[in-house]
Amino acid sequence: MPLTFAMIGNPSPLLWVAVRVVLGVTGIASLLLLAAIIALEPHEPVWPHRIAVVGCAAFSLQTAFLDALVWPYYFPS
């Protein structure tokens, strides 16, 4: 958020690249976290693992798709 506020307050190409890099790294990290959770071998009961997968998938959708790809398209650079 600080980079976004800095971009709004004083836009520059360097800040725009920094914002995009941070959003991209966050999206990739969330996808890696999702892969790690899916790879876990759950013990009984399995429902906590399934809930974790669904929650992390929603988080990954937000960070990897919406934040990293959709949001920057609509943000004036």
End-to-end CA distance of the chain: 16
Contacts of 3 (CB under 8 A, 6+ apart): 15, 18, 19, 22
List the one residue out of 40, 74, 38 whose CA is nearest residue 56.
38
Contact 37, 52 (CB under 8 A): yes
pLDDT tens track for 11-54: 899 999 999 999 999 999 999 999 999 999 999 999 999 999 99
User: Domain ranges in the chain?
Assistant: 23-77
| Mean pLDDT of all residues in 65-69 | 89
Q: Rounded distance, CA 45 to CA 30, Å? A: 25
